[in-house]
Amino acid sequence: MANSDPEPQGRVLIIAGSDSGGGAGIQADIKTVSALGGYAMTAVTAVTVQNTLGVTGVHVVPPAVVSAQIEAVMGDLGADVWKLGMLGSADHVRAVMDAWYAHGQGLPVVLDPVMVAKGGASLLAEDAIAVIRDELMPVAAIVTPNAPEAEALTGVAVRDLDGQRRAAEILVGKLGALTALVKGGHLDGDVVRDVLLSKDGMRVFESPRIATRATHGTGCTLASAVAALMAQGAGIEAAVEQGREYLMAAIRNAPGFGRGHQPLGHNWPCKLA
């Protein structure tokens, strides 16, 4: 079982891939959790070779090594929330699930089903999608797919708000996630809508679309923000609301680095101090 104190301590175990450009993956996760007052720990599933222009290489960490990282963290530091990002293969998904049942059962899981990098590179094997859908989804406190990921997981077209709603209903009602946040950033329009479905009902969050190239790592950032806030005691809906606010500000405060899909300004709260 997890070495976890009764009161939330803000500890987030991040299980995901590394982004050498620092804009997404574990690097974005650590920055986000830290900026929001949490404590980030990691189990690296893959080392990617990438920058703002795209991914040029993926070097997989063996599942046994991923499991060993998790065991090391949970056996000493403990965690309040697990945040899952790039898992890569079916073997990695099953290794993480086995580790959760052995060392983290009962802890909330924030599942960001990373499938494709911003530049289009595949980050999830085809056989892993079914394992995530059928085996990992039922242990997720919240799953946060974008529109293409929601389509892959549910089989329904997610091209508008109605599609987002239908996908959320399948993710929760059929696939077993406790809560689903189907994001609309990939859809057209001047307003970005994210659909949250939980036991308390459905809520649609709306934000004006920001005209920017700083969109690298937005999914990782939002999921990690939700995890960090949950780890400090926030409820899921409040964590999503505050996490979206953090994300929008990080986009607006982007440093402008790189010639492609640029990173966010994760440390913007520090500029207010």
Q: What is the pLDDT of residues 172-200, one digit of tens each?
A: 999 999 999 999 999 999 999 999 999 88
Reported as a pLDDT band with limits 50, 70 and 90, residue 117 is low
Q: Quick check: is 5 in a domain?
A: no
Least confident of 30-44, 127-141, 161-175, 207-221: 127-141
Our answer to whether residue 212 is catalytic in this structure is no
Q: Quick check: is 69 in a domain?
A: yes
Q: What residues make up the domain containing 181? A: 11-272
**C-alpha closest to that of 122 among 41, 60, 43:** 60
Say whether pLDDT at 4 is over 50: no
Q: Quick check: is 2 in a domain?
A: no
- What does the mean pLDDT of the chain come to? 93
Our answer to whether residue 173 is catalytic in this structure is no
200 vs 165, which has greater pLDDT?
A: 165
Q: Structural domain tally of the chain?
A: 1
User: What's residue 188's pLDDT?
Assistant: 92
**C-alpha closest to that of 83 among 64, 102, 96:** 96
Which residue among the candidates 23, 163, 184, 217 is catalytic per the annotation? 217
Which residue among the candidates 215, 221, 243, 258 is catalytic per the annotation? 215
Our answer to whether residue 144 is catalytic in this structure is no
Our answer to whether residue 56 is catalytic in this structure is no
Which residue among the candidates 144, 179, 183, 265 is catalytic per the annotation? 183
B/e letters for 223-250, b = 16+ CB within 10 Å, e = fewer, are: bbbbbbbbbbebebbebbbbbbebbbeb
Q: Give the alpha-carbon dihedral of 259, 83, 89, 264, to 10 degrees.
A: 0
- Residues 144 and 178: their CA atoms lie apart, in Å, by 11
Our answer to whether residue 45 is catalytic in this structure is no
Q: Quick check: is 259 in a domain?
A: yes
Our answer to whether residue 104 is catalytic in this structure is no
Q: Quick check: is 4 in a domain?
A: no
- 3-class DSSP assignment, residue 71: helix
The number of beta carbons lying within 10 Å of the beta carbon of residue 138 is 11
User: What's residue 1's pLDDT?
Assistant: 42
* Interval 15-59: pLDDT, tens: 999 999 999 999 999 999 999 999 999 999 999 999 999 999 999
Q: Quick check: is 254 in a domain?
A: yes
Give the CATH number of the domain where residue 143 resides.
Answer: 3.40.1190.20
Whether 263 and 22 have beta carbons less than 8 Å apart is answered as yes
User: What's residue 43's pLDDT?
Assistant: 98
- 3-class DSSP assignment, residue 194: strand
Q: Quick check: is 1 in a domain?
A: no
Say whether pLDDT at 147 is over 80: yes
Compute the residue count for the chain.
273
The order of strands in the sheet holding 39-51 is: 54-60, 39-51, 11-19, 81-84, 109-111, 142-143, 180-182, 191-198, 201-208
% of the chain at pLDDT higher than 70:
95
User: What's residue 119's pLDDT?
Assistant: 66
Q: Quick check: is 157 in a domain?
A: yes
Query: What predicted TM-score, i.e. pTM, was given to this entire model?
Result: 0.94
Which residue among the candidates 25, 220, 221, 258 is catalytic per the annotation? 220
Mean pLDDT of 214-225: 96
* Interval 61-98: pLDDT, tens: 999 999 999 999 999 999 999 999 999 899 999 999 99
Which residue among the candidates 17, 88, 219, 258 is catalytic per the annotation? 219
Burial class (CB in 10 A: 0-12, 13-18, 19+), 160: middle
User: What's residue 92's pLDDT?
Assistant: 95
Mean pLDDT of 219-227: 98
